[in-house]
Chain A
Amino acid sequence: MPGLEDLYREIILDHYRSPRNRGELETPPATRTEGFNPLCGDEIVVYLDVDASGTVGDIRIGGTGCSISQSSASMMSAAVKGKTLAEVRALTRAFKGMMSLHESSLDTDGESGEELDADGEPVEDVKLGDLGALRGVVKFPVRIKCATLAWNTLMQGVDEAAEAHPA
């Protein structure tokens, strides 16, 4: 039976207590997208500033949520800064692959994203880094939506930014 320590890894609690990139960005140039978890009422706001070359220049996170959704958003914000939109999409696929009940291996504790995505396709070898700490969430299926909320919201922002900056 999974224990609390599988869910609440120290790095998760650190990001929850000291969230990175909290705040707002001016819109425009930044995009602002909102995500809701209808189950628990959590809300997340992602401000995304993508420069002319299609690189994430800055990101800010707003809203409220549990330790899992807040730490996931915090780690996400740190991970995507400076990445191209294509790299952000690849990272998101890798993260969501890790969060997939079907594809995630419960036995391994690897920190790289050598996973299959939801369609069973191999995910590019993307370094998940600290985000690997959220792997344990998959053992608590109700909480998966908490972990993916920020990423789904980010993807809306990426789509909007991609329209403004066609590659």
Chain B
Amino acid sequence: MSTAEVTRTFDVAKVKADFPLLQRELKGGPIHYLDSAASSQKPQVVIDAMTTYYETINANVHRGVYEIAEAATNALEASRVRVGRFIGAPNPETEVIFSKNATESLNLVARSWGGANLGPGDAVLLTQLEHHANIVPWFQLQAEKGFEIRWIPLTADAQLDLTDIDRLLDGVKLLALTAMSNVTGTLTPVRELTEKAHAAGALVCLDACQYVPHLATDVVSLGVDFAAFSGHKMLGPTGIGVLWGREALLDAMPTFLGGGGMILNVTLDGFTPAAPPAKFEAGTPPVAEIIGLHAAVDYLDALGMDAVREHEVTITAYALRTLTERFGEALTIHGPAEPAARGGVLSLAMEGIHPHDLAQVLDEHAVCVRPGHHCAKPLMKVLGVGATARASFYVYNDTDDVDALADALGEAADFFSF
């Protein structure tokens, strides 16, 4: 494939130049960062936005009446609206809650909504693709509330098997599912499942951590009731996550963490919670990170999310073709074979080489992949493996990165050849 074909959506070389870390040399050559599903790199504009905040308007928010405190508050609230518009939130001022990360967002739904609405005789439906962040909070709550947890099984190519979906949804109060697997890249049929879930009387909580960074997202057309995602996987900083929820649901839900900022009033007898989103934002928020996320969203929007997706489909197709042609049966790539059915996440299994060893050899060639269970041990069990080596792509990856991956895999095969 020619470079021109890959880069018709936007100029990848120009994008790459915006990321200071990707200018580094490692092991005497360029760094091939293929671990964006774990955490993305940050463009200079995001780093600059955070530095500018600290250098010019650093002050606590929602408190002071002095000029820089108001500027900090305005910057925070502007980010809330910007992030909300990015995902199509109808009421961004009240429906976008800033959290620490997607994990905390999902815990908020479990503890607050789940704590108030789930009990014996109820059921929560998950999928076997889920990340531990969308499993463990439900197990924790189940131990207290005694509801049932069910699982949507998978087909051989790690897509959701919906054969029994009507039976599985019967009596379910909440469907909590990933929009895209962080292990296999599987895109799930969110809209279809949301319609079925709503028809069965269930709400839908979407783990959109791997989706929002990579595909144009509209929570209204997806039809979900909650959506959780993290800033650091979408070119933003660590320490900032988002929970979007329908306004009526957020209004009715009990509080989550308690402290300053989330109250309307406190007396010696008790407290009255604030309205959303403040209700769910106890304590001083990560202001610099929220401002950094605003810059990240601006950057992604300037690229265009449709172009981002097109670039990733192209690079994923190139990788699937290159790796399959080169290694054939010796290399298993888990998940859907069709690039359009998946995101840019490839979980690799090389015959006779443990993923940990594979990743170690790849590191010698400055190819950064992630070995392990990717916080999805139930999925690993379904796939029949203990671990995989995962390569994941984003806006700054090009065919050189894929070629470097293929070459390094070849070196690993030689090194460990029996």
- A binding-site residues for B, Cβ under 8 Å: 3-4, 7-8, 13, 17, 39-43, 64-68, 70, 140, 143, 146
Contacts and interface: CB of A to CB of B under 8 A. Distances in A.
Contacts, number: 48
B415 A42 contact: no
Nearest to A40: B372
> Which of A40, A68, A143: most chain B Cβ within 10 A?
A40
A43 B415 contact: no
Given A17-B418, A66-B354, A140 B372 contact: no
B267 to A, nearest CB: 45
B292 interface: no
A65 B360 contact: no
By size class, the interface of chain B is 10 to 19
A43 B380 CA distance: 13
B335 interface: no
A22 B355 CA distance: 21
A76 B355 CA distance: 23
B415 A40 contact: no
B356 interface: yes
Contact of B355 (A3, A4, A40, A43): A40
B371 interface: yes
13 contacts: A4-B364, A8-B415, A13-B416, A17-B418, A40-B355, A40-B371, A40-B386, A41-B373, A41-B377, A41-B387, A66-B355, A68-B357, A70-B354
> Which of B357, B371, B386: most chain A Cβ within 10 A?
B357
Given A4-B364, A40-B371, A42-B387, A66 B418 contact: no
B372 A64 contact: no
Contacts of B373: 40-41
B361 interface: yes
Contact of B387 (A3, A40, A67): A40
A39 B372 contact: yes
Nearest to A3: B364
A52 B352 CA distance: 40
A68 B415 contact: no
Given A40-B372, A41-B373, A143 B360 contact: yes
Nearest to B376: A41
A65 B361 contact: no
Nearest to A7: B360
A114 B301 CA distance: 60
Contacts of A140: 360
Interface string B351-384: 0001111001100100000011100010010000
B247 to A, nearest CB: 39
Nearest to B361: A4
